[in-house]
């Protein structure tokens, strides 16, 4: 049990949509039935926050960012207070927050895919339609929590909340084994996570492509890719040269860039599989030579299910894989504006807003 006197107010960050993060005072919430209050330890910044909220509010309707909501959909922390009706988690538990709270009763929610919840009234994502993790405390529903083992840090867990969980789902759809050479287009935090997971899943060769030198260096220095290529018009030929003229068995598209998507598709060998994870942008192709004649399979993948996220946590422990190694910069909450600005620049790995022991 945790004995703590809670303050009446806390600091919290919102995203006005003008390429800034605004820090303000908010009341500390109290947990109701089936809810818990979490002391935040780490909240990492996702590329979708930059694309859809930070510069301008692109989303519309029930899935759009609601003005004034506390930002941050990759939260991890420790429960300090539980409301009535909680069945599993207790005060003191270390938890990851699955970042979409669904209705719980539609078909997708019953499959564990709250990301695809069909209820316009009850589907609410943390950091988008309900308050997120860029604050001292977070109010969450118990059903949205995943246990964080002691062998993983809170910074590890924050990355599972979205980035690593999203990538794991995509890789499971296409299957990765020691038979496969893998191409990753886009080496931002999602692409770097793909490299780390492909390595643990046994890929025999991992090739990464990006346009930003800092990201290429991170992928090379951390051993996440065997080969890194700067984005350019010759990438398909370069990938084929690195794979004996065949192309890769598996491609993971994380950039959302139209040219990179074409590269990934065309550098995939006959009978190969590709998954698109990066959101936004367009894809233009000639179906017959690009897919049909070579019998390729193209998957779309959006976040993951909560049960598969729990499975990923187990595997991270088994593999001794720590997602926090991809964090290149940590900021305290009072410097949240600097954190978002750096993430928006792209010249970094993962950027985290940290609290207490995770601020180092």
356 alpha carbon, distance to own chain's centre: 22
pLDDT for residue 249 is more than 70: yes
d(CA 201, CA 60): 38
pLDDT 10s digits, 325-354: 999 999 999 999 999 999 999 999 999 999
- Measure Cα distances from 261 to 12, 184, 185, 188, 285 in Å: 37, 10, 7, 15, 9
Q: What is the mean pLDDT of residues 220-249?
A: 98
pLDDT value at residue 3: 61
pLDDT 10s digits, 51-66: 999 999 998 777 799 9
d(CA 257, CA 273): 18
Alpha helices (runs of H) in the chain, residue ranges in sequence order: 47-49, 107-110, 154-159, 165-174, 189-201, 213-221, 235-242, 258-266, 287, 306-319, 336-345
pLDDT 10s digits, 119-171: 999 999 999 999 999 999 999 999 999 999 999 999 999 999 999 999 999 99
pLDDT 10s digits, 27-84: 999 999 999 999 999 999 999 999 999 999 998 777 799 999 999 999 999 999 999 9
d(CA 340, CA 338): 6
């Amino acid at each position: 049990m945790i004995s703590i006197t809670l303050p009446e107010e806390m600091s919290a960050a919102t995203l006005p949509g003008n390429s800034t993060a605004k820090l303000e005072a908010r009341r500390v919430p109290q947990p109701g039935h089936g809810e818990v209050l979490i002391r935040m330890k780490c909240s990492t910044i996702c590329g979708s926050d930059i694309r859809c909220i930070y510069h301008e509010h692109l989303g519309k309707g029930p899935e759009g960012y609601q003005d004034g909501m506390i930002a941050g959909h990759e939260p991890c922390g420790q429960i300090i207070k539980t409301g009535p009706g909680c069945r599993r988690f207790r005060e003191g538990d270390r938890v990851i927050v699955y970042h979409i709270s669904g209705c719980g009763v539609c078909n997708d929610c019953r499959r564990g895919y709250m990301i695809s919840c069909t209820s316009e009234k009850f589907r609410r994502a943390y950091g988008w339609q309900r308050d997120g993790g860029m604050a001292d405390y977070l109010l969450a529903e118990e059903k949205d929590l995943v246990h964080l083992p002691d062998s993983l840090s809170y910074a590890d867990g924050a990355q599972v909340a979205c980035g690593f969980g999203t990538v794991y789902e995509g890789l499971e759809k296409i299957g990765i084994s020691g038979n496969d050479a893998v191409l990753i287009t886009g080496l931002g935090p999602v692409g770097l996570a793909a490299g780390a997971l492909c390595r643990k899943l046994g890929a025999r060769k991992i090739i990464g492509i990006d346009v930003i030198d800092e990201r290429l260096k991170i992928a090379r220095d951390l051993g996440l890719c065997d080969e890194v290529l700067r984005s350019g018009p010759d990438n398909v030929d370069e990938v084929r040269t690195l794979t004996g003229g065949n192309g890769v068995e598996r491609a993971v598209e994380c950039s959302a860039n139209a040219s990179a998507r074409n590269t990934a598709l065309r550098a995939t060998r006959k009978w190969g599989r590709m998954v698109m994870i990066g959101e936004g942008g367009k894809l233009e192709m000639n179906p017959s030579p690009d897919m049909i004649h070579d019998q390729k399979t193209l998957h779309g993948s959006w976040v993951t299910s909560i049960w598969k996220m729990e499975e990923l946590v187990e595997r991270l422990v088994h593999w001794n894989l720590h997602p926090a190694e991809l964090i290149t910069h940590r900021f305290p909450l009072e410097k949240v504006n600097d954190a978002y600005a750096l993430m928006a620049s792209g010249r970094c790995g993962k950027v985290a807003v940290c609290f207490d022991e995770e601020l180092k």
